[in-house]
Amino acid sequence: MTDDTMSAGAFAIAAIDAGGSNDDALMVAYCNGHAASFENLYRRHKGAVYRFFLRQMPKCDAEECHHEVWIKVIKGRSSYEPRGSFVPWLFTIAHRVLTDRHRSAMRRPIVAIDNDPDLLPSSNPGPEDATDQARKLNQLHALIAELPITQREALLLREEAGLSLAEIAAVTSTAEEGVKSRLRYAMQKLRAGMSP
Amino acid sequence: MTEPTNAPEDNALRALYASHRDEPDAALDARILAAARDAAAQPPRRKWRYPVGVGAAASALLAVVLMLQTPQSTDELRPLGQSSNEFTGKLDAPRRAPASAVAETPAALPVSAETIAEPASVGRQAEERIAAVVKDSGAEDMVVGSSVPEELAAAAPTVAQESRPAKASLAKLESRLEASVASGRAMLTAETHREIELAAADRAPVSEACRASEHVATDGVALCIDDHQIQVHDAGGCDEVLTLERTTLGTVTLAREDDWIVILIDDARIWRVRCAANAWQVEALR
């Protein structure tokens, strides 16, 4: 390890210890060759990215998209500008990957969801685990999967990535009011679907 | 679940949603982390933003320099409504004329309809342009010489009278041009960047000093025209070569009026020169 990478790593660790917004520091450290900083970043955000895709497509596709997003992060590290917006940047990449996937899916033959077990929600518990909680969760995931694409994406960016309305608007290139409407309609449908 | 209202039932949904968190497989994690480690081991790619910016600025500078060094288009210098093609088309007329028709001295040219018809259009156009410029400059009297040659005067009235198309009929202009051609006083029009096509007799070398590709000679006066200057040689009079500077590139139009040579450059400047007593007289009319 060179002096540069050591100092970059030390900077990243100091930033983490400070407890502030340190995604930027980790990314900068990784850009300077500190691989451990990327592992830190990955551990923090891998679940959000993965579930962002998993709620919108079959598991195998979600894994492909998840992999694609992180490879783009790795390759695009030199273009990253540390301005305290790592998560919006990360989910902007995810949004583009998702959009590309939707486009290519439109060109592929449609597979009936009933005939493809891979398209069922991934957290569908088996009959032996079907507690009430799991049944409700399964129902919630199914309702999310049935939402219109734009509403579903806005909801997941809010819930998984924790983005603000303005950030969701920026990531999806939509007006903030439009994002608010999408979230409102999505929640109405989920509430209606979950009510007994 | 997050919603602007943050209703209790929404919080219940949020809790339910957060109760189970799917994570990617360990194998997938390993693949991504291995790719990240490989990339970190390589030096980061050079950022191209600044070199691209410098390159764009250099290209823009080069474009400006080239633009400044490129000669102005002759189209910009033409009168409104007169395109380059239109003008060239008229100049093409004498080029198509057979050399035999103009091989002899101008004075010996046959004054026939076939010979004069096309050169007349060139001469008429050039003459009208000069007359218009002279009229605008208020120098009509200077151009119209006091001693009009008999043969020209007999054939037609003065240039000042005839150069007003509103007053002169087409027949009169044509008859005067016929007389001009017959007397060797036809208008000569030369364009730079185009090989001038004149009769062989008119293309005699001006002098050894003239290296320009375009030169004309008529009535003992030879002109050497290049992009920067016009040299006027008078074989019968002045030993000295008169040099007029050109500031623009475009059309040079020449006319003889008595012993004066009227030179119109690019519709912008007009000179009248003559050699008298082995000395050049130069009048800048505009």
Q: Where are the alpha helices (DSSP H) in B138-248?
A: 140-143, 150-155, 159-162, 170-182
CB B244 within 8 A of CB B272: no
CATH fold for the domain made of A123-196: Arc Repressor Mutant, subunit A (1.10.10)
Closest CA to B35 of A81, A7, A78, A39: A39
Rounded to a whole number of angstroms, the distance from the CA of B26 to the nearest CA of chain A is: 11
Mark yes or no for CB contact A32/B29 under 8 Å. no
Q: Please report, as a single letter, which amino acid is at residue A11.
A: F
Please tell me the distance from the alpha carbon of residue A190 to that of residue A95, in angstroms, as a whole number.
Answer: 22
CB B8 within 8 A of CB A108: no
Q: Give the model confidence (pLDDT) of A127-181 as tens digits.
A: 555 578 888 888 999 999 999 989 999 999 999 999 999 999 999 998 999 999 9
> Which pairs with CB-CB distance under 8 Å and at least 24 residues apart come from A131-140?
A133/B16, A133/B19, A134/B20, A136/A194, A136/B16, A137/B16, A137/B17, A137/B19, A137/B20, A139/A193, A139/A194, A140/A190, A140/A194, A140/B13, A140/B16, A140/B17
Closest CA to B184 of B159, B220, B153: B220
How many interchain CB pairs under 8 A, A with B?
99
Closest CA to A188 of A155, A157, A163: A155
Closest CA to A191 of A153, A150, A144, A156: A144
Q: Does A51 touch chain B (CB under 8 A)?
A: yes
The pLDDT profile of chain B, 286 residues, written as one tens digit per residue, is 544 556 777 888 888 888 888 899 999 999 999 999 988 887 666 555 667 778 888 999 999 988 887 765 444 433 333 333 333 333 333 333 333 333 333 333 333 333 333 344 444 555 565 555 445 544 333 333 323 334 433 433 333 333 344 344 444 444 554 454 455 444 444 433 222 333 333 434 444 445 544 555 556 667 777 667 777 777 667 777 788 776 666 666 667 677 777 777 666 677 788 888 888 888 877 6
DSSP state of B243: E
Element of type H or E holding B55: helix B49-69
CA distances for B124 relative to A171, B132, B157, B162, angstroms:
71, 12, 15, 11
Q: Where are the domains of chain A?
A: 123-196
Task: Kindly identify which residue of chain A lies nearest to residue B42, measuring between CA atoms.
Answer: A33
Q: Find residues 28-47 of chain B whose CB sits inside 8 Å of chain A.
A: 28-29, 31-33, 35-37, 39-41, 43-47
Q: Does A185 touch chain B (CB under 8 A)?
A: no
* Angle made by CA atoms B49, B53, B57, in degrees to the nearest 5: 175
Q: Does B24 touch chain A (CB under 8 A)?
A: yes
Please tell me the distance from the alpha carbon of residue A20 to that of residue A84, in angstroms, as a whole number.
Answer: 10
Name the residue among A31, A122, A187 with its Cβ closest to that of B44.
A31
